[in-house]
Amino acid sequence: MKKLRYPCFNLVREYNILFIKCFMILLISCITIRLNFSLSSIHFSLKSLPIEGNFSFDELDLKNAARDFGNRYRSHPMTVLHPKSVSDIAVTVKHVWSLGPSSELTVAARGHGHSLQGQAQAHGGIVINMESLKVEEIKVYGGEFPYVDVSGGDLWINVLNETLKYGLAPRSWTDYLHLTVGGTLSNAGVSGQAFRHGPQISNVLKMEIVTGTGEVVNCSEKQNNELFYSVLGGLGQFGIITKARIKLEPAPVMVKWIRVLYSDFTAFTRDQEQLIFAEKAFDYIEGFVIKNRTGLVNNWRLSFNPQDPVQASKFKSDGRTLFCLELAKYFNLEESSEVNQEVEKHLSHLNYIQSTIFQTEVTYIDFLDRVHISEVKLRSKGLWDVPHPWLNLFIPKSKIHNFADTVFGNIVKETSNGPILIYPVNKSKWDERTSVVIPDEDIFYLVAFLASAIPSSNGGEGLEHILSQNKRILEYCEREDLGVKQYLAHYSTQEEWQTHYGPKWEIFKQRKSIYDPLAILAPGQGIFQKSIAFSS
């Protein structure tokens, strides 16, 4: 009986295993068929939308939308929308909204792709190529309070070129002009002019926005102002900027561009803080840190003239950490003599190393577009499309010396893999009604570690080393409770975002529930997950 029983048991077990395998194959097939049917259904529904532009499912297009300047994160979208009108964007977002919370489809607006950590990507969703947006031509308006109307997909360099035809220019810039208007206004837009005019978001008069429900809304300080301030610095969470009205000022023709060196950090910061409040001083003030770059001064000779060539040639850094103060004074040709006198007067009050003053004169557009010149050189050497593990921090003035002692003294060993910017800005030039978070002090510093990683390197120029260095810097800031805020921030959890926004978190969350209640927009920021139920 036993001999008969065991073969029978084995046979039943084999039948059960075979049944389970068949069932799993059938289940997976059903899921695949359903998924493919669902994807086909979504593709069909998108292609059926009444738009002037087009949805691209081309693999190359999807690959391009899945990468950015940071060159570290890749999230492939389902499709890329190339809009020709604002209506194209509104119709698309409204369609995704109409699918309701059961759909996982999300939407990301992508400008020039200069994000660092996938912020403009949408995994399995729709990426909108904002540079395809064709609205009215850039329109410049003169008068006592001049302004320009532009598309959210226009590059700032194109805005500059157009406004210069009328002798005008925007007041505030970023260091790199080949970025879209909507992209920088979604963050803040900071450069060496921010001490005087504030960031770019402090120089906006009006915007047209497509909200997370597909509604097209005009907003300004007086019209729909809650949306206006939400979107400025809002990381794309509340709406897509399709048009913007930007303040202008008379544009200069020339720029006197100066660099001086310091070995004393206290003198360096004291002079910077003095200059940002000085009358008729400089129009642009930035600084950067130099470590183990003994040949840098000689490299400057290619573009800058030392005031005293003999003394400059004798200058030795001796391995010290140096701090460069970079200044610019705008002028027109007929003002040259007067401007030279003003520059000399202000320089005479500074405490830089006297043998290290370098200066040159360039056109206004060449000065503003200076980073693009470097980009062209780096592209020719294949050094542009590499990982860029940047770290940008706002640091309270009261903590900047502690930060410098530890970070520049112990953590950062060299600056050969990219510049480290450091300069002060006035809190009074920032509007606290916007979504940006900044330190709670009258003066705070932007410190930007703008490293480029060499993929094949395992040393100080390698990606892992730079990321480890960034981590040590952030851990130090948190451990010492310096009150630092990240700019172009990136966090992994909503709890970290909540800490980042601090007292602003509740209003940030409430604004999200009003303007993008299904969390359709800007999923790459990682702040909200789609279909989260928001409390009002």
What's the pLDDT tens digit per position in 367-387? 999 999 888 888 888 878 999
Does residue 33 fall inside a structural domain? no
C-alpha to C-alpha distances, 331 to 103, 162, 250, 279, 334, nearest whole angstrom: 56, 20, 11, 15, 8
Q: What CATH number corresponds to the domain at position 62?
A: 3.30.465.10
Q: Do residues 481 and 501 both lie within one domain? A: no
Does residue 11 fall inside a structural domain? no
In the structure, what pLDDT confidence band is assigned to residue 97 with cuts at 50, 70 and 90? Answer: very high
Whole-number percent of the chain with pLDDT over 70: 90
Domain final residue, candidates 447, 469, 486: 486
Predicted local distance difference test score (pLDDT) of residue 10: 59
In this prediction, residues 87-106 reach a mean pLDDT of: 96
Q: Which residue has the higher pLDDT, 417 or 86?
A: 86
Q: Do residues 307 and 259 both lie within one domain? A: yes
Does residue 529 fall inside a structural domain? yes
Predicted local distance difference test score (pLDDT) of residue 259: 96
Q: Do residues 60 and 195 both lie within one domain? A: yes
In this prediction, residues 278-288 reach a mean pLDDT of: 95
Can you give the residue range of the structural domain that contains 379?
254-486
CB-based contacts of 496: which residues, under 8 Å, 6+ apart? none
Does residue 278 fall inside a structural domain? yes
Q: What are phi and psi of 239, to 5 degrees?
A: 175, 165
Tokens encoding 289:
């840190």
Taking the C-alpha atoms of residue 31 and residue 154, their distance in angstroms, rounded to an integer, is: 43
53 contacts 128 by C-beta, under 8 angstroms: no
Taking the C-alpha atoms of residue 108 and residue 165, their distance in angstroms, rounded to an integer, is: 34
CB-based contacts of 286: which residues, under 8 Å, 6+ apart? 175, 191, 192, 326, 421, 423
In the structure, what pLDDT confidence band is assigned to residue 536 with cuts at 50, 70 and 90? Answer: very low
The DSSP bridge partners found for residue 180 are: 155
> Cα angle at 432 between 430 and 438, to 5 degrees?
70
Predicted local distance difference test score (pLDDT) of residue 2: 44
Predicted local distance difference test score (pLDDT) of residue 191: 97
pLDDT at 1 over 50: no
Lowest average pLDDT, out of 20-29, 40-49, 148-157, 193-202, goes to 20-29
CB-based contacts of 358: which residues, under 8 Å, 6+ apart? 258, 259, 260, 297, 300, 301, 304, 305, 306, 307, 312
Q: Which residue has the higher pLDDT, 417 or 465?
A: 465
Predicted local distance difference test score (pLDDT) of residue 27: 55
Q: Do residues 354 and 398 both lie within one domain? A: yes
271 contacts 350 by C-beta, under 8 angstroms: yes
Residue type (1 letter), 438: I
**How many CA atoms are closer than 13 Å to the CA of 405, on its beta-carbon side?**
6
- The one catalytic residue in 283, 286, 326, 516 is 286
Does residue 187 fall inside a structural domain? yes
Taking the C-alpha atoms of residue 238 and residue 245, their distance in angstroms, rounded to an integer, is: 18
- Count of CB atoms within 10 A of residue 33's CB? 10
In the structure, what pLDDT confidence band is assigned to residue 16 with cuts at 50, 70 and 90? Answer: low
Q: Do residues 201 and 323 both lie within one domain? A: no
pLDDT at 443 over 80: yes
Q: Do residues 269 and 123 both lie within one domain? A: no
Predicted local distance difference test score (pLDDT) of residue 14: 63
In this prediction, residues 169-195 reach a mean pLDDT of: 98
User: In the annotation, is 388 catalytic?
Assistant: no
Quote the mean pLDDT of the chain. 91
Predicted local distance difference test score (pLDDT) of residue 22: 58
Q: Do residues 303 and 425 both lie within one domain? A: yes
* Whether pTM exceeds 0.95: no
Domain final residue, candidates 446, 463, 486: 486
Does residue 152 fall inside a structural domain? yes
In the structure, what pLDDT confidence band is assigned to residue 295 with cuts at 50, 70 and 90? Answer: low
Predicted local distance difference test score (pLDDT) of residue 37: 45
Q: Do residues 450 and 350 both lie within one domain? A: yes
pLDDT at 4 over 50: no
User: In the annotation, is 286 catalytic?
Assistant: yes
- The one catalytic residue in 82, 112, 114, 388 is 114
Lowest average pLDDT, out of 23-37, 210-224, 464-478, goes to 23-37
Q: Is 73 exposed, middle or buried (0-12, 13-18, 19+ CB in 10 A)?
A: middle
Q: Do residues 324 and 337 both lie within one domain? A: yes
Q: Which residue has the higher pLDDT, 243 or 308?
A: 243
Does residue 12 fall inside a structural domain? no
Q: Do residues 130 and 157 both lie within one domain? A: yes
Does residue 346 fall inside a structural domain? yes
Closest of 285, 188, 231 to residue 488, by C-alpha: 188
Q: pLDDT tens-digit profile of 346-366?
A: 999 999 999 999 999 999 999
In this prediction, residues 394-405 reach a mean pLDDT of: 98
Q: What CATH number corresponds to the domain at position 440?
A: 3.40.462.10
Predicted local distance difference test score (pLDDT) of residue 460: 84
- How many domains does the chain contain in total? 2
C-alpha to C-alpha distances, 378 to 177, 260, 469, nearest whole angstrom: 16, 25, 24
Q: Do residues 414 and 282 both lie within one domain? A: yes
User: In the annotation, is 68 catalytic?
Assistant: no
Whole-number percent of the chain with pLDDT over 90: 78
pLDDT at 112 over 80: yes
Q: Do residues 354 and 236 both lie within one domain? A: no
Place of tokens 């939400």: 230
Predicted local distance difference test score (pLDDT) of residue 20: 66
- The one catalytic residue in 175, 215, 226, 366 is 175
Taking the C-alpha atoms of residue 385 and residue 68, their distance in angstroms, rounded to an integer, is: 9
Tokens encoding 82:
């190339």
